[in-house]
Amino acid sequence: MRVLLTGGAGYIGSHTAVVLAERGHEVVIVDDYSNAHPEAVRRVAEIVGKAVPMVEADLANQKAAAQAFTDAAAALGGELDAVIHFAGLKAVGESVAQPTRYYRTNINSTLNVLDQMRAHSINRLVFSSSATVYGDPETNPIAETQQVGVGLTNPYGWSKAMNEQIIRDAAVVQKGFRAVLLRYFNPVGAHESGRIGEDPSGIPNNLMPFVAQVAVGKREQLSVFGSSYPTPDGTGVRDYIHVMDLAEGHAAALEAAGEGVAEYNLGSGKGSSVLEVVAAFEQASGRPVPYQIVDARPGDVAECVADPRKANAELNWQTTRSLADACADSWRWQSQNPNGYAKDGEVTA
């Protein structure tokens, strides 16, 4: 298939581009590089051994989105078959501080993508949703049947829930439309080559990149947010999924998408605590990861673990990589690229 990846230069998009290209799909990336680096796409091309065309555009802008779809099809030499929509802002704390910016970017880009898909008769969409749409889950592991969009604590999470609804509504009026909403749990790790990985700007918000930067000596110590959750060791429990397993989940969803809209959890089904992640990373890197326990982070839930059985059964997909694999791959990326994609001499935070 000819597949447009919005936000394809980002962390999950770049890994998905590798998997799709290796499965014989033709990939074109549209990104505004506001939180991504063109170097990531060059490295994707290097890994897969063929050129990956890029179109620079801000998809939240209606005119730019229209031009980007035309340019993307031209770059692949034919009309597109599918879109995987990764583009969006994703920092939870920032979304609380800048709500209108988050809604404007994350909602407008989806509206424009849907309009362009309709205009070009592109009938296949895979959307980057998040386990955050479940809020504070009623039970763990979380199945897709649990309630969505209730009591969410930040605009980022709301924008994901709203986008799910917008896609459901758009699907009603486009004949033959097939959409898959993928609810990611906690993506971690990197491509096993160490050439592409997560490159957060500034101080990482998420656990694994922070731990990796402590291990490599870029940051002094980790703050563990809370130690009195009702979990085995008192720290928060999450379902960490290797980004290459996640990328394979996108390829499976793209290929299996049936008519209408379906939602799937992409997770491993296994929970790990913050302290277990720290121990796994120390083991993989051979470096100490000093930490201190601090207050819980507002909005965090005690536990968030996927029930991935629906995706296992219907997408014929399952995770094959462990937390130890993710730590080893993340360490390879971090130690070989201590400044991420920045060129030598470029200043990083």
Nearer Cβ to ligand UD1, position 240 or 341? 240
Contact region for ligand UD1 (CB under 6 A) — 8-16, 34-42, 192-200, 221-229? Answer: 221-229
- Short-list 228, 231, 224, CA closest to 277: 224
What is the rounded distance in angstroms from the CA atom of residue 95 to the CA atom of residue 314? 33
Cα angle 96-299-301, degrees, rounded to a multiple of 5: 150
Nearer Cβ to ligand UD1, position 153 or 335? 153
CB of 177 to ligand UD1, least distance (A): 26
Q: Does 132 bind ligand UD1 (CB under 6 A)?
A: yes
Q: Does 297 bind ligand UD1 (CB under 6 A)?
A: yes
Q: Does 62 bind ligand UD1 (CB under 6 A)?
A: no
Nearer Cβ to ligand UD1, position 72 or 207? 207
How many residues sit in the footprint of ligand UD1 (CB under 6 A)? 21
What is the rounded distance in angstroms from the CA atom of residue 237 to the CA atom of residue 270? 9
Nearer Cβ to ligand UD1, position 8 or 88? 88
The length of the chain in residues reads 349
Peptide bond between residue 141 and the one before it cis (omega within 30 degrees of 0): yes
When binding is defined by CB under 6 A, the residue of 34, 223, 228, 336 that contacts ligand UD1 is: 223
| 266 backbone dihedrals φ, ψ, rounded to 5° | -110, 100
Q: Does 300 bind ligand UD1 (CB under 6 A)?
A: yes
User: Per the residue annotation, which of 156, 184, 240, 264 is the catalytic one?
Assistant: 156
Site string for ligand UD1, 243-282 (x = CB under 6 A): -------------------------------x--------
Cβ–Cβ < 8 Å for 186, 306? no
Site for ligand UD1 in 303-322 (CB under 6 A): 304
If you write DSSP's letter for every residue of 253-291 in order, what string do you get?
HHHHPPSEEEEEEES-S--EEHHHHHHHHHHHHSS---E
Q: Does 136 bind ligand UD1 (CB under 6 A)?
A: no
Task: Assess whether 11 carries a catalytic annotation.
Answer: no
In the beta sheet, which residues pair with residue 119? none
- Short-list 238, 191, 278, CA closest to 16: 191
If you write DSSP's letter for every residue of 138-182 in order, what string do you get?
SSSSBPTTS--SSS--SHHHHHHHHHHHHHHHHHHHSTT-EEEEE
Of all residues in the shown chain, the one whose CB is closest to ligand UD1 is: 236
Q: Would you tell me which residues interact with ligand UD1 (CB under 6 A)? A: 90, 92, 130, 132, 157, 186, 205-207, 210, 222-225, 236, 238, 274, 297, 299-300, 304
For the annotated catalytic residues, the residue numbers are 156
